[in-house]
Structure 1
């Protein structure tokens, strides 16, 4: 009994749970782009395909209620951690197929669907297993270990891939890299099968697919009946206009040959500056942005937060103009950009929590909001490569900064507090960002 209690201690499972949430997400969002860049795929084509895979995170709220049909959240979490690991291993195998590109995209799509589904039960297990005090106590751990996934994939893994690209060649380098990711995910799944609390789903007479579908339809209808919801949707999507394009093209710009307007960095050098100092700057900026908004209030802070996300993109413009060779200079510029991104992105999270989500189905409507947030990222990512190839890197980064103008203007015209609901709803409860 003592051992069982120890296993249920959050210190033994929160880190492994959220590391497993972060690894596959960043493998699809960032690492796949770097792999495809090394394989010679053009910026527009690789962003088209990895952008389409991002739709898994857009639509995950639509199938999330049906996961309640499983006997426990732990079963779903562990199952998709192991399945996601096997799919990452499938990417490594696909690189050796004659039709390697199509095979890689198919396996990455499975990784995306698996990861998005895992996210739902991962957050649900966390909420169901901890009381409000525990949720608050370990909330910082969730973000820390999720971003540890980014630190590992875009830092350590890219450094390793860069080393093997030089010594073994591109295909063996990325085969090894994705095999490592696969092994870690499977190991996390096996560990979590031992460490995670069970978090059984409540089974009632009404728990069946038909009843869940009817409830889901009601939740969707109520979401789109919210006062001002279409303006809110436009605001959420536009908030990501510049940021999504920079996060998609920025790492590719670092890799691009200097005679084509890039900085000519190796895979390992991108890992050194983007996945290490860049990740740390993002985390510090996120914490600072939270305190800043808490001090000033969302209404008064929102314009500053939008500017924080977009103005540091001038760093990329300056890098494209001067094309410095010193890694330290590039690292400082990227740290400024990532700090601003982390600082300002808090504004979008709080807008969804405090303005869009409140009401009868607050938790579900927050999940819908995050899907719309991901839609904004995917839409602008899809066409970022086409725009960059049309404009060149310098003019592309000017375009990115101009993309901030519509959302900055809109932020001063729309309410920054929850609008009155059509009917009396329960008092809002705190919602944690996933």
Structure 2
């Protein structure tokens, strides 16, 4: 290709319909996230790791998304976000292939944790550049128009990872053994991710180059410092931080231990489902329920206002706790019974979680640095999730499944008691009202 043809090719890429790159971009974003935050737990459980170890180490992996605002401003030193996006996608494909090999070694647990750690930070870095590319490539009208497709394909990756990838692993475990089954799955997943990375290298708008912007690291650091100081000077910010942490305190524990309870042997207090059965109830039933709950929760809050809807949203967040307590107390064996309970659980989770997203948008983020403060609020939210996740395994091992889920019901009480003291905005002006999207689950 001649030098005169290169700008023309770049311009043509920029003019492509967003539907040629938004789906593949956000499906890849979700795929990287759910490899770490969902599949890792199932791999460790099926390979014989205890619940306390699983909860502790997967919470460490989750810190990548909590602290990503710390290095996100410095990615502005790279002129073209496409370069970072494609590089992180290619790196993710390589790491997943390496992950497949680690399961065949005697030191598989330590090696797999190291690879998952690298995957987590590559994925978090990809998230930053991915959203930056989206905002830079589209004007505000098209950003809003295609925002729904973002959430749809991110959550489509959730369905794919649990409903398809986990299902394949479950089918292969019996004839091949757990380690060989997951090795095969990760090899196939690495190939898929490599294909998506190659496609995105072609389809994404922008250039693949290592050009640097005119920004200086010192100037970025000073701006970052100003953003953080301004965030913690907001009126009532410490009460808001406590509210965000308590909002997720029960949820983080249930969302960590719940899937492990489904797959735990019945003589150990679990439901004894196979990996394939968990894929069916969580991949199909659970994903549909979560999306429906998220959409309805968004419309419900828009109709009633966040201030008036918040008590209902908080009660909805306790539905998963009550559902798992019921399952642990009754131990049903009928799959329709279990599937119905999972539908209720995930519907309540999706419906209630909208409250946290909108609270950060409307009560925490507004101000001079709205976008950056939303990222900081989201980081606090993730840290709250990690805190509750990290202690969940130890508590469950100590008291058993039934008492553990009863404990999580009481963990939802403090945030309800705090609610009257938290500043929550009423109905925002119509022009500023955000369009709620299905929440990106962090579990």
Partner of residue 388, structure 2: 380
Partner of residue 158, structure 1: 166
Partner of residue 181, structure 2: 173
Q: Is the 8 A contact 2:290 2:347 kept in 1?
A: yes
The 10-residue stretch of structure 1 (177-186 or 162-171) with the greater mean CA deviation from structure 2? 177-186
2:261 to 253, 256, 264: 253
2:60 to 52, 57, 62: 52
Shift in CA distance, 32/203, structure 1 to aligned 2, threshold 3 Å: closer
Partner of residue 266, structure 1: 274
Partner of residue 134, structure 1: 142
Q: Is the 8 A contact 2:298 2:436 kept in 1?
A: no
The one-character-per-residue Cα deviations of 1:372-423 (angstroms, maximum 9, x if unpaired) are 11101111111100011111111111111111111112122211029xxxxx
Give the match's secondary structure for 1:264: coil
Q: Distance in 1 between matches of 2:213 and 2:14?
A: 31
RMSD of Structure 2 on Structure 1 (CA): 2.0
The one-character-per-residue Cα deviations of 1:238-263 (angstroms, maximum 9, x if unpaired) are 11111111110000000101011000
Partner of residue 251, structure 2: 243
Q: Distance in 2 between matches of 1:345 and 1:202?
A: 40
2:231 to 208, 223, 239: 223
Normalised TM-score (structure 2): 0.92
Give the C-alpha shift of residue 356 in structure 1. 0.3
Give the C-alpha shift of residue 5 in structure 1. 5.4
Counterparts in 2 of 1:39-118, with a 5 A limit? 39-118=47-126
Partner of residue 354, structure 2: 346
Counterparts in 2 of 1:181-196, with a 5 A limit? 181-196=189-204
Counterparts in 2 of 1:394-405, with a 5 A limit? 394-405=402-413
Q: Distance in 1 between matches of 2:42 and 2:204?
A: 33
Tell me if 1:292 matches 2:278: no
Give the C-alpha shift of residue 43 in structure 1. 0.2
The one-character-per-residue Cα deviations of 1:90-133 (angstroms, maximum 9, x if unpaired) are 21111112211110000000000000010011111111111111
Give the match's secondary structure for 1:54: helix
Q: Distance in 1 between matches of 2:29 and 2:421?
A: 36
Number of aligned residues = 425
Q: Distance in 1 between matches of 2:286 and 2:220?
A: 42
The one-character-per-residue Cα deviations of 1:169-204 (angstroms, maximum 9, x if unpaired) are 010111011112222222111100111111799976
2:342 to 334, 345, 370: 334
Partner of residue 310, structure 2: 302
Which residues of structure 1 form unaligned runs of 5+?
419-426
Q: Distance in 1 between matches of 2:434 and 2:159?
A: 28
Q: Distance in 2 between matches of 1:322 and 1:311?
A: 16
